[in-house]
Structure formats: structure tokens, C-alpha cells
Amino acid sequence: MNILFITHYYEPDSGAAANRLTRLAKQLHMRGHQVTVLTTMPHYPKGIIPESYRHRFVVTENREGIRVIQVWLYTSPTQKVSRRLMSQLSFMITCTLRGLFVQRPDVVLIENQPIFTALAGWIISKFKRVPYLANISDYWPEYLVVAGIAKETSLTYRVFKALANLTQRDAKGIVTLVDEILVKVEARIGKVPVSQVIYNAVDLNEFHPTIDDQPFRTKYNLGDARFITFLGVLGSHIDLETMLQVAAHFNTYRDLKFLFIGTGQQKETLKSRLEDAEFSHCQWIEWIDYSELPSFWSASYLTYWAVHDNPLDQMRFQAKLYEAMASGTPSVIAVKGLMHNILSASQTGVTVSPGDVDGMIQAIDQLLTDDSYYQTISTNARRFAETNYDLQRNVDDYEAILKTIARSPEKTP
């Protein structure tokens, strides 16, 4: 098949979406498919385009046999909603213009978030008369209401809902990352004939418990301490105050440090708080490359985070959990819903209610002091990843649904 990926996120950008889509494109290419990627100039998550890509409208590169077409977009390091919308709108325009001139593919895979990327893909697919697969990785437009950006009765919500319905209803196939997203989609647009829930995956050979963690420790001068880590975007959904209270409790523990890796809305707040004496055992790193993640997870004795109590986060399964599980890294999370259900049933981590500082402290303390308990959680996590998140099974599912909806070149004028 000749497959066109249209996505806001792709390497060298980092983050869950970029890692997931880059991996899928490479795997499909390795199976003999011709893959072209139409994406943005590198900019995520810092919001800054590297000098080598700056002041250029299009940069086309051949990366390991994959043609990657990167187009200009407006970027800004600020996390303001207005700036993010401007960035997304600019990519929609440049993506659409460049996409009209790509070779006609057999099928298009559109990463449906942000919604303006979905709209660009919809236009390109209509113009090329090619079927497309809508890859839906988040709750949209439901996010607008939960995040307090818009009310269901507002014009903003109704416009974005109409755009989501349009781009999803015209898709020949739909893939969602969790069951609950598909339920939400079908509640809006009706039953989808060709649909599938395809869980995220992890390369079990790349992420495993015996990875050497010394390269990561050496690069960031971390020493030999046991690390409790946080990795991710410091968005408004993160309950940073709960996390800091938990970290402060452990400031007298010997050979124990907290490592925060993340940027986003709460970055400056975190940096400021870590200057206090009670956080002398904590360190912050703005971001790390994807290539460093296996060593990072191996260096993580356990990982933790807390989210605010809202319906959206109750339905999410954080992508970093796939890598943590594959690495045998236990997790302690303040969350309700999907993550709680999976971690509890599989005994691969510990969850407490949102805002429960004492509960997080107790869970972390038990993992620090009870080696048998720690090893059980670690072993369960790796086994669960092997059983449920195998990369090749994930690619099998995507390949099958793309073949199902792809046009037949010999029959199509």
C-alpha cells in the first residue's frame, strides 16, 4: 500500500503522540509499504523551531526510506490557548496547501488531534478521492467542557463538535486507543461500520528491566540514588501541589531523590518551588530525547504523578505507563477510573484517590521498604506489557484495517 500519514506530531518532536506515530510509520515501512508523512516543522514540546528548519516553508527529508514532508507553522513557547490555536490553524493551512500536491496514496491515516489537523486531512482526502482512517487518541470535543474552556451550549463547543463529527463521520474507518473513546465517538455520530480499538504498544526489546541506566545517570550527573520520577507535560490536569507535598515528606530519606522531567503550563511554578530548602532532594530537567527513555525508565525506581479529579482523566490511560510497565517500573498514581481499574486488576501499580497525599506517601513508602512487594509489582508490570502491549500485534491490527479501507488502484480512475 501507498500510505499517507497526516499528523501534527512526528519525530524529531517528542511526546507520546510523536513516538507512537513515528514507530507505526517505521513498522509499516519495514513491512514493505510505501509511507509518506505530512507533518509540522519540529517544534514540540518547547514551541521553538530549530535553527536548521527556521524560515523555510517546506523541508522534505528521506528518513530510513520514509518520505517526511515538514511544513511551516506558527509556534510559540507559551502555553496560552490562543497561541496554541494559532499554531494549529497555521498548520491546517500549510498542511492543506502542500498536501494537495502529494502523490495520490491508496489510503490516508489522519491523526485526529488537534481537530484542525483532522480538517486538513479531510480536505486533502476529499481532493485526492482517497479513503482515510481517523486515528482518534483523545476525547474531543469533550475535553473543552472538562477543561473549562467552553460550555456545551456555547458557540465554541458547537463549532468544534461539528468539525469533529464531520471529519469522523466521513472516515472509512476509525481507530481509538481505548474503548471509552469509541463509545463517545459513536454517541455523537452513530455506529461506525469499520472501527477498532487498538491499544497503544511498546517495543518490548527496546524497553525492558535490564537496560543499562548508567548513560542516563552520567549525562545528568545523577549519582547512584534511587529515583522517584515524573515524566510528562505539566498541564493543568496535573495536581502539582499534591505531588510536591508527597516529595517534601521524603526529604530526609537517605539515597532517595525525586526527578521531575517536564515542561508546560506549570513549569515555572515547579522550578520556583524546587528552590525551597525542603526540596533539596529534587531535580528538574526540562525534557529528554526519546533515545534516552529506555535508560531513564531503568533509572526510575518507581514513577508517580497525581491528576485532578475530573471525568476526562478518569477515562485516560497515560501513554508513559506502557513504557514504565515494559521496564518493570512500578507506578503510584492519584487517579480514579481507567488507570485505577487496570493497575488494580493486574497488580502492576498502586492508585489512590485524587488529592490523597497520605495515601501516596504510604504507597511509596511500602515500595521503598518492602522488597518482596516491590519485586512482585515490577514482575507483574513486565508480564502484563508482554501479554497486552506487544508492538507487532499492534502493527498487525493497523495494517489490517488500512488494507480493509484502502482503494484498489487498478479499479480506481
* Residues in contact with 59: Cβ distance below 8 Å, sequence separation at least 6, in sequence order: 41, 53, 69, 70
157-186, pLDDT tens digit by residue?
A: 899 999 999 999 999 999 999 888 999 999
| Pair 258, 177 in one domain | no
Q: What is the mean pLDDT of the chain?
A: 93
| Pair 132, 46 in one domain | yes
| Pair 323, 248 in one domain | yes
151: pLDDT strictly greater than 90: no
How many structural domains are present in the chain? 2
Q: Is residue 397 part of a domain?
A: yes
Which range has the worst mean pLDDT, 144-158, 313-327, 348-362, 378-392?
A: 144-158
Q: 409 pLDDT band (50/70/90 cuts)?
A: low
410: pLDDT strictly greater than 70: no
Percent of the chain with pLDDT over 70: 98
What does 98-131 look like in DSSP terms, one character per residue?
HHTTSPP-SEEEEE--SHHHHHHHHHHHHHHT--
Q: Is the dihedral of CA 195, 201, 203, 204 positive or negative?
A: negative
Q: Is residue 411 part of a domain?
A: no
- Residue 411 is predicted with a pLDDT of 45
249: pLDDT strictly greater than 70: yes
- Residue 149 is predicted with a pLDDT of 75
80: pLDDT strictly greater than 90: no
* Residues in contact with 146: Cβ distance below 8 Å, sequence separation at least 6, in sequence order: 139, 310, 311, 312
End-to-end CA distance of the chain: 17
| Pair 315, 398 in one domain | no
| Pair 164, 241 in one domain | no
Stated pTM of the model: 0.81
Average pLDDT of span 365-375: 97
- Residue identified by cell 517526511 is 68
Percent of the chain with pLDDT over 90: 77
Average pLDDT of span 268-294: 94
- Residue 47 is predicted with a pLDDT of 87
- Residue 192 is predicted with a pLDDT of 86
Q: Are 293 and 326 in contact (CB under 8 A)?
A: no
pLDDT top residue among 103 and 192:
103
Domain that holds residue 237: 214-388
| Pair 341, 394 in one domain | no
| Pair 188, 230 in one domain | no
26-64, pLDDT tens digit by residue?
A: 999 999 999 999 999 999 888 899 999 999 999 999 999
Q: 413 pLDDT band (50/70/90 cuts)?
A: very low
Q: How many residues does the chain have?
A: 413
Q: Is residue 208 part of a domain?
A: no
Q: Are 136 and 174 in contact (CB under 8 A)?
A: yes
Q: 147 pLDDT band (50/70/90 cuts)?
A: low
| Pair 78, 91 in one domain | yes
| Pair 218, 283 in one domain | yes
How far, in Å, CA of 145 to CA of 184, rounded?
14
| Pair 168, 234 in one domain | no
Which range has the worst mean pLDDT, 226-240, 271-285, 356-370, 397-411?
A: 397-411
Q: Is residue 44 part of a domain?
A: yes
- Residue 412 is predicted with a pLDDT of 41
Average pLDDT of span 352-376: 97
Angle CA 288–290–293, to nearest 5: 80
124: pLDDT strictly greater than 50: yes
352: pLDDT strictly greater than 50: yes
